[in-house]
Chains A and B, each alone.
Chain A
Amino acid sequence: MRRQLCDALVARAQRPDLVFLTGDLGFGALEPLRDVLGARFINAGIAEQNMVTVAAAMASDGLEPWTYTIAPFCYARAFEQIRNDVCLHGLPVRMLANGGGYGYGVMGATHHALEDYGILSTLPNLHIFVPAFDEDVAATVAAAGAIAGPAYIRLGRGEMPAGEVAPAYAPWRRLRGGTGPVIVAVGPMAGVAWAALAAEDVLQDADLWAVSELPLSLCPPPDAFIEAVRASRRLCVIEEHVAQGGLGHSLAAWCLERGLPVEGFRTLNAAGYPSGTYGSQGFHRRESGLDAPAIRSAALALAAA
């Protein structure tokens, strides 16, 4: 999504208040943005805590700062800065986090972001974006830029199944309707699930949703989703994020609080590093049970329930 991000920000750079701060990332990708922004493109160095707080101060002073680094160097390294300087003050800092989930693959665990939106969902008024497809990035930048408070944007790799066209960007999107189990996938896992459920079999009847904005308190599901759950009574949540703090748990609580009659419930989550070995993003998804066979298996079990 980096190319799409660069294009979207280059277009937005016409806004005189936009400032872009990078934690020394962007080589081979963000040069066009650097060229168009000039002094407003700031390489803040390998110092993410300072970068986030500098951005907070700039936001307090009327600028529109966007920060950019690898996801864990933002939400984990600079958590206190996000909490105190950005969120406690409600400042519109947009934090771009590259490599959501296992996006950095064999680069290893230090570069993965498996608990980011769970942790950040605990902070006040922090709006989280997880675009699902490359085509979502421009709309995500526009949406994050339009809100009055802070935003965290988890970027990954769009995985649109061949031959499919996603509906226009929305926080909650129905990718495919059906009367079978309701399948909810966060961000790029929606594309993985879409491909997994493409076979001409019983799973053609699954009702597939892509979620791109969190937490539920800021971005609740639409009525059509509630109706679908009420009718299906079976729900599966797929996310490249650990179970604790993930959408699955929060959505289960959300359904319970509203008396939705969920009788069959599954979550598919990031499992960490069960074998103690490392590989591509696909390797880690397979180990976690987030690949197509595992998704089909979970959906079939729910369909049979």
Chain B
Amino acid sequence: MVPTRWRKVILDLWMHKARTLLVIAAIGVGVFAVGLVAGGQAILLRELNRGYAATNASSATLTTTPFSSELVARLGRIPGVEAVEGRRRIPAQVEIRPNETRALLITAVADFRAQQLDKIYPIGGAWPQRDGLLIEQLSLEFLNASVGDKISVDLGNGLRKELTITGLVHDANVPNARVTNRAFGYVTIHTLNNLGLGDYFTELRYRAVEADNLSAIYALNDALKSQIERSGHTVFATDTPTPGEHWAQEIIETLVLLFILFGVLIMVLSGFLVVNTITALMAQQIKHIGVMKLVGARRRQIMGMYFVMVAAYGLLAVLLAVPASMLAAQRVVLFATDLLNTQIVNNSVPLYVIGLQVAGGLGIPLAAALWPVINGALITTHKALNSIGIDQSSVGRGFWERLFAQMQQMLPLQRPLLISLRNTIRKKGRLALTLATLILGTALFIAVLSTRASVQQTLDDFLRYHRYDVSVVFARPYRTAQIEPLAQQLPGVVAVESWLTGSARRVFADASTSESVSLVAAPANSAFMDPKLEAGRWLLPTDANTLVVNTDFADAHPDLRLGDEVVLEINGRNHPWQLVGIVPTAAAGPTLYVNYNFYARLARSIGQATTLKVVTAQHDAAHQAEMAARLTGHLESAGIRVSSTRTTEGIRESNQYAFNIIIGFLVLMAVLLATVGSLGLTTTMSINILERIREIGVLRAIGASDNAVRVIVLTEGMTIGLLSWVFGSVTAVPLSQLLSHTVGMALLGIPLNYTFALDWTFIWLVMVILLAAAASLGPAHSASRLTIREVLAYE
């Protein structure tokens, strides 16, 4: 037989279902958030590390003139080299529909079975395969193909071949094709030879024995370079990634940072909520405590009962939240794996995360209950039995009370409104916790949506460099007099413009040169490009050797000032230029902008173009894609060799893809925070009304109508909502700047062009008012329905 006092505990849980659900929700939302963020982070990092370790990443890649497998074998014998492999990469174009191509980077390896470095793993289809093309798992959809399909591949220099996709592989070292706007494929060197491209390598990849020692790797780079050059080859470039770092390290770190930030915030806010809820629970139980003491209950018995009750709430919350959070963590990870190209072999949530949830789900409520339970058990029998619901202690004469008294004299405030305002500030500790929850919820909600707006703004600003619909890149320069009329013949083409693109190196005073950077030469008065200016001015039609650089270039050359002379090496010859302006980056690396006319003369390409920019009649993605295909077909039928096409919506989409995942995660967190906030407000309003039940009876006894009681309670709730909105919106300004900066740096390497989401700030105002009204409506309705006799004899 269950002792009667424990029956009381069980019945208290069962008979007050709404209250039980509210407390479980308050605890559960925190437990869920911890499980989601800690579980998601644990799975993601574990699987990323596992996948990365399984590739056996190379320490460095040396790009050289063609070499054979004999040289590879010789280089492998150099002391300190653990493994070495020759590779070759070929940029290609794949025709995915008639006249529509997509970029494909083909990596050739000696033998799939003998892979030692940057390993790829089979997922489906034939493996290992001597002939045929293997496609990276996240590239297949991008190529609009399936395993077994024959695809038409342009391997450059007019060489077009049909290749069969024989299998799917996972390469943890490359991103999703939708992010890079380029697919990844793999063949053997044997296949390349069969295609007539020779059986040589141009990349030497190796792994050092001391793979974590960067100095040792640099020393080996030099040793290998000397050896290669002694063999009669030239080393063009050496790429040495930071040892042990995944290519998406910064994205991962940002994700982890956001996971931790939001996890901790939600936990703290949920903790506040639990404190408020348990305090409310104890406030409701005071009279019961009095009765139990009256019939002989000892303090420790009472404390035991309430601690068990709180532990039961915690346990129920844990039982519900742990499985839900596990599922949510596994789902969230799936989004991230799509971005980071990770394969989830094991999606189990580690035990320590569940332990953390159980500890938090039981520990935080018990800790939160410590003071209210001890306080409740310590109350004297007399005080507990005489708890009548008119809270005298909280009516003070502090600053706010005096302010309202003055307001009353100065403003014609109606008495019920004044009661609501005074009620709002009566329990300052509780109000502070509720406000803290709602303010942080508001601030983070607005910050997340401001980051989303900043992403849009940044992408819009990027597109200021692409004020056209389709860009057609030619395999070689063509005469503008030939291509422009040809393109304009096509129905749907509104305007065209010819550009030249190239590369240049800055020549320093000591005759050394910088890395090669991109150069864009557009007509000076072009309407197809309208970048914002960071400093100086844009190019004028009268300009000759004037130069505008982007911030990436300016950051890499901090010695340069506006008006300075910059010597550039173009096509092997040095020319002086005058720097007149700096424009923002489009996250595509250092770029120089010059006048078409002057550059064309310099590059001996007068009247020629490497790229044709086209404005079409309609600007949606589907129409742009269709026009790109039609333009390719039309130009190629006239003998013009098109290398590739890109649409501006395609550029926007690939830029946006990575952001969508991060923003999606942030919005999920914002919704959780909003849930915690609304639960907090509901709890606070319920406690406030319960504590004042007698007071409401008095109000009704002296003539307050049902509606008047409802209005008083609703106004109180909405005042709290409004206060949280005001302070939350102000807090959102620095918070959103920080978040935009962090997300921008992680995904683009530049801060986002910050935009405050004013529209969402006001949408949230409406939401928070509705939320406050909804949270107060239940208590307001209950309060208005109580009869005067009931509330005045409230026992």
| A and B are interacting partners | no
CB within 8 Å of A: which residues of B? none
